[in-house]
Structure formats: structure tokens, C-alpha cells
A and B are shown apart, each in its own frame.
Chain A
Amino acid sequence: MFRRTAGFFTVIFGVLLLTFLLIHLVPGDPVEVMLGESASTADREQLRTDLGLNQPLVQQFGHYLGKLAHGDLGQSIHTKTPIIELIKTRYPATVKLAVLSLIIGLAIGIPLGIYAALKANHWQDFLVTIVSVRFSAMPAFWLGPMLMLVFAVWLGWLPVSGMESHASIILPALTLGFGLSAILTRMTRTSMLEVLNEDFIRTARAKGLSENIVIFRHALRAALLPIITVVGLQMGSLLAGTVITETIFSWDGIGRLLVESIEKRDYPVTQACVLVVALSYVVVNFLTDLLYSKLDPRVRFGA
């Protein structure tokens, strides 16, 4: 337990350090890149002081951490809005999208995976596997436009993009959810196949339990454990996947904020978005780890 927690904090420290260093990787003078060549010397000096770029690196990092501890992420270069306010307005939209995608992914992936495992090596299994291979090979920037083309342009059932109506979330959520379901289908299939060969399943069947009880109460419960880890890991990819999906569908979440900030060269905002997404990922993974060890008595920490 201690080692896990210590590892967790080391990683968080590393993430902070790496995001902090980002702005120093800008080729040439970051201030000039951000403000453009036409900016006055006074403006440049002002920004340099604001960002603390004229201090030694170590001191800058300390300063950065100190500000973070007070919930201060700096301010946008262009609008002068505190970045924390931007994040607060955008983050909920991303979480909403990610959670709905996760639900879609689970609702499709787990039943399909069970079905494929039960029909292992029949044509149904082959079909499901091919489809899931196909889906996981399809990145968001492919699937999104395709779904948009079919459901919004050709069929006209759903809005093309934006956030005006409640139905607007459906297409971006499907885009992310389908990708997730592909991975979950394969994981569920593998995990179920493994469990179905175990002794306790044979025993359960030999006892004369109905097939439904054997599959759903005995096998699925054991098979779900590895799936939880995958869900945790995928939750992070979901958060990153939102960058592209939100851009396609004009969904005003943190991913779109990131892209907008890059286009405007508003690096403090870019930095903050990267930090928030990465930290969310690390925290979700840590919680998944904890949950996993709670659920599986075989997992002992430090082992």
C-alpha cells in the first residue's frame, strides 16, 4: 500500500515537472512566439515577469508548484481570464462525455464479449472478433466524421455538431464509446474463455445449475476483474481521445480548449489542459488499482 502511494506521488511530481518544462521547449523565445513579433518591448517584459521566465529554472518550478497549491494555474495570455475558471467551465462537459462513452462502451462490449466467448471458434465469434479488430483500428478522427456523415448528414437524425440540444452529445459519445467497446469486447472474450475452462465452472455445471446461473453468476463475476483494470486504463485514453472528438463535434470540453489554446499559442492554457488531463488519468488509474485489490483477494501489495 505504501509503495503504491509513494509511486503515485512520484508520478504526479514527474507529471508536474514535465508539464512545467513544456513551455521551455518552445524553440527560441517563448514570449516572442506567444505575443508575435509586433509586440512592444514593454509588453514582452511584462509577460516575461508574469510567467517568471527571468528567474532561474529551479526557482521557477518552485514558484509554479506554489501557485498550483493555491489552485492558481496562471492566466490566459489573450483574454487574461484566470485559467482555473476556464477549466472549471470546460471540464464538466468532458467528464459528461467520457462517462456516457464509458457506459456505451460497457453496454456494447461486455455482452458481445460474453457472446463471442460462448460461441468460441464458431462463425459468430469470428465475426465479432473481426468487427472489434476493425473498430479498435478506427481512430476517433475517422469514426467521428463517418458517424456524422451517416447520422447527421444522410439520415438527418442527429445534430451535426455543437452543444445546443441534448441530442448533441450522442454522436461524440458514440464515437468514443465504439472505440472503447472494441477493446472491452476482446478483453471480455479472453477473460471469459479463461474462466470457462476453470474447475469451478465444471463443478457448477456438474451440480446441475442452469447455464444462465453458471455464466452470469459464476463465470462473469470472476471474468470481470481484469476488465475493471482495462476500464480504468481506457478511461484515460477516453480523456485523451476527447481532444479529437471534441474538435470534430465542436463540443466545448477541455480537449477543445487545449486545441484552441494551441492555435492561439496561449501556452499557459495549453500547459494547464495537459496537466489536468494527465492528472485525471493518473488519479483514475490509482483508484482502479485500489478497487482491483479490494475486489481480488489474490492481489497483495508489494508482491
Chain B
Amino acid sequence: MNRWLKYLPSGLLLFWLLAVLIGRMLDIAGIGLQGNAIDLGAILATPSSYHWFGADDLGRDILARTLRGVEISFVVAVIVTLVTMSVGVLVGLLAGFYGGKIDRLLMQITDIFLAFPGILLAIAFAAVLGPGMVNLMIALSITGWVSYARLTRGQTLALRNRQHVIAAESLGASVPRLLIKHILPLLGSILIVEATYSLASIMIAEASLSFLGLGIQAPNASWGAMLRDGVRYMLVAPHYVLIVGLSLMSLILAINLLGDQLRDKLDVNSSINQH
């Protein structure tokens, strides 16, 4: 890849994070445009020097709302990734290390979760739990730990019989010590790559659920809800859906490309994620 091109993903990501930070600081300082401020004179306004990205159906600034959307999406993605990774890794380590009945039971459970395609199960959970950010995170966490469990289990199974693990075991190391000191560190790079991809896929899932009205609730900004409104006003204000769509795409693309780079750099090739 080109010398400069390889910095594009991380640069783009950094750009978004900085934009969110600056937007937030301006918000706190009371300068600039508030995301929830309604301006009935600017309903569906096209981009201008005042509203850089235009305004939505309530005259709210799209740029400010996009930045809020990125922020919320990012927070949700990071929290859900941390939760699902912790649970998934723990389950995977235990299943892979002990094998036998425990392994079979745990894998049977993951099989059942995997029998629900894509975000269907998250939709189902979000539907019965009711909308809202916390319920959204619960729904995404309940369904998200499975891929980590499968990944960790497979790796642990292979590492279990490595000589350094057997040596440590015969020296009397306890099981937690074996898992944490001798197996987990070797999973580091593969988990980092997996977590990067899952950030993107959770952001997509969050937006999908919010698009269906199951996620973040008004007046809070969310990309999914903004896209849905954008579709509604597509005939009169195509800039709305276009701008939100392109912003979302650039961020997701940046994260996924970063994942690819990390994968190449850390030399991980058995990631189960096919993004």
C-alpha cells in the first residue's frame, strides 16, 4: 500500500474522535450549535455557512447531531465490546481448558445463540426489554459474547497442550494462574483484532436497532434514527440522508480497515470474523 494511504484509516478515526471532542467542548462552553436545539426557521435547511451539514426536520443542526451520534455510538460500542469480550473470553478459556462435559455444554449453548442469524436475537431481546440505551446495550451484550467464546475456546484448545503450559502445570501452577499467566497473554493479538472488528459491527447493530426504533430514543441523536428520518424526508431534503450515510460509512470503513491493518501487523489469520 502507498506510504501515505496506510495512515488513512487511523487518520480518519482520529479525525472523528477529535471532531467529537471539539464539538463536545464547544457544547460545554456554550459556543456553536447545540444538537438538541430546535430552530423552526431552519427546518430541513440545506448546508450553509451556518449549518455546515444542513438541518433536520425540526431544524436541528445535522453536524452537531452527527457528532453526538458518533459519541453515543462509540460509547455503546466500547462498553458492549468490554462486556462481551470479558464474558466470552472467560467462557472460552474454561471450555477450552477443561474440555469434556463442560466444553460440550458451553459449546451447545453457543450453538443455540448462533442459530439466530445476524442481529435477529438482539432485535428480539431489544423488543421485549423495551427501547432505551441501557436495554440496547443489554440486548447487544447478551448476543455478542458468543463469537469471543468460540474464538477463545478454539485457541485455548490448541494452547492447552503447549509445552510451557504443561511445564507450568507440572510445577504446580493453579488453574487461574495457568489461564491468566500462560494462556491469556498468547490470545492478546487475536483478541485485539477481533475487538476492532466488533467495534464496527456493534456500531452497525446499534444503528440498525435505532433505525427500527428499538435503540437510542429521542431527543438523543443516533445515526440509525437520523437515517430513518432522512429516508422519510428523502424527497424534499436528500442532503439529510446522504450526509448522515456518508459520515457513518467513513467511520465504519475506517475501523474495519484499521482492523485489517492490525490483523496483518499482528499476523493473526484465524479471526473468525469475516468483515
**Does A26 contact B128, Cβ atoms closer than 8 Å?**
yes
* Cα A239 to Cα B117 with chains together (Å): 8
* Other-chain residue from B115, B128, B200, B224 in contact with A137 (beta carbon distance below 8 A): B200
**Does A282 contact B120, Cβ atoms closer than 8 Å?**
no
* Cα A283 to Cα B249 with chains together (Å): 33
Residues of chain A lying within 8 A (CB to CB) of residue B257: 133
Could you say which of B62-70, B84-92, B165-173, B229-237 contacts chain A? B229-237
* CB neighbors of A among B209-239 (8 A): 211-214, 224, 227-228, 230-231, 234-235, 238
**Does A145 contact B230, Cβ atoms closer than 8 Å?**
yes
* Other-chain residue from A141, A183, A237 in contact with B207 (beta carbon distance below 8 A): A141
A247 interface hit (Cβ, 8 Å): yes
B2 to A: closest C-beta gap in Å:
10
**Does B124 contact A243, Cβ atoms closer than 8 Å?**
no
Residues of chain A lying within 8 A (CB to CB) of residue B234: 145, 148-149, 153
Could you say which of B41-49, B175-183, B240-248 contacts chain A? B240-248
For A117-144 the 0/1 string (1 means CB < 8 A from B) is 0000000000000000110111111101
Q: Majority SS of interface residues in chain A?
A: helix
Residues of chain A lying within 8 A (CB to CB) of residue B245: 142, 145-146
* Cα A262 to Cα B214 with chains together (Å): 9
A270 interface hit (Cβ, 8 Å): yes
B10 interface hit (Cβ, 8 Å): no
B7 interface hit (Cβ, 8 Å): no
**Does A141 contact B118, Cβ atoms closer than 8 Å?**
no
For B89-133 the 0/1 string (1 means CB < 8 A from A) is 000000000000000000011011001111111011101111000
Identify the closest chain A residue to B251 (Cβ).
A137
B66 to A: closest C-beta gap in Å:
14
B58 interface hit (Cβ, 8 Å): no
B147 interface hit (Cβ, 8 Å): no
Interface size on A, residues (CB 8 A): 53
Residues of chain B lying within 8 A (CB to CB) of residue A148: 231, 234
For A266-303 the 0/1 string (1 means CB < 8 A from B) is 01001000100110011000000000000000000000
* Other-chain residue from A33, A141, A146 in contact with B211 (beta carbon distance below 8 A): A141
A152 to B: closest C-beta gap in Å:
9
* Cα A277 to Cα B115 with chains together (Å): 10
B274 interface hit (Cβ, 8 Å): yes
A145 to B: closest C-beta gap in Å:
5
For A11-51 the 0/1 string (1 means CB < 8 A from B) is 11011011100110111000001000000000000000000
B152 interface hit (Cβ, 8 Å): no
**Does B130 contact A27, Cβ atoms closer than 8 Å?**
yes
* Cα A153 to Cα B119 with chains together (Å): 29
**Does A137 contact B249, Cβ atoms closer than 8 Å?**
yes
B34 interface hit (Cβ, 8 Å): no
B146 interface hit (Cβ, 8 Å): no
